[in-house]
């Protein structure tokens, strides 16, 4: 998912980020907040509308999700990538602002 530039004149600005997180969490493709630290961050941001996070945090959350997803595919190439359970990837650099 991709919004518009946060500095666009008359655009939604940073407020679009939690709104996009809400839409993403409603999609069947969302792996759930337990899948990875990045997914947990996205889910947490979707639960509120007052804090937007930073571009760095959102990029890190996306990278974390994708790396976890691919690692699960490599580990179990014929299973489902959603079958992650206790092997969450943690990243101390992500924080909810």
In a domain, 4, yes or no: no
| Category of 4 on φ-ψ map: left (φ > 0), alpha (ψ -120 to 50) or beta | beta
**Which band of pLDDT confidence, cut at 50, 70 and 90, is reported for residue 16?**
very high
Query: Tokens at residue 64, please?
Result: 């974390």
Which of these, 4, 41, 49, 46, lies nearest to 23 by C-alpha position? 46
In a domain, 31, yes or no: yes
What per-residue confidence (pLDDT) applies to 37? 96
Instruction: Quote the domain boundaries for residue 66.
Output: 13-79
Measured distance CA(24)–CA(36) in Å, rounded = 15
In a domain, 88, yes or no: no
Per-residue pLDDT, averaged over 60-81, amounts to 87
Q: Say what the pTM is.
A: 0.76
Domains held by the chain: number: 1
Quick check: 73 pLDDT over 70? yes
In a domain, 26, yes or no: yes
In a domain, 93, yes or no: no
Three-state DSSP at 92 gives: coil
């Amino acid at each position: 998912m991709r919004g518009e530039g946060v500095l666009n004149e008359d655009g939604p600005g940073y407020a679009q980020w939690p709104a996009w997180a809400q839409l993403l969490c409603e999609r069947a493709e969302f792996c759930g907040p337990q899948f990875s630290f990045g997914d947990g961050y996205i889910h947490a941001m979707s639960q509120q509308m007052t804090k937007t996070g930073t571009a760095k945090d959102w990029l890190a959350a996306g990278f974390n999700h994708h790396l976890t997803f691919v690692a699960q595919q490599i580990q179990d190439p014929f299973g489902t990538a959603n079958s992650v359970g206790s092997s969450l990837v943690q990243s101390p650099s992500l924080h909810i602002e």
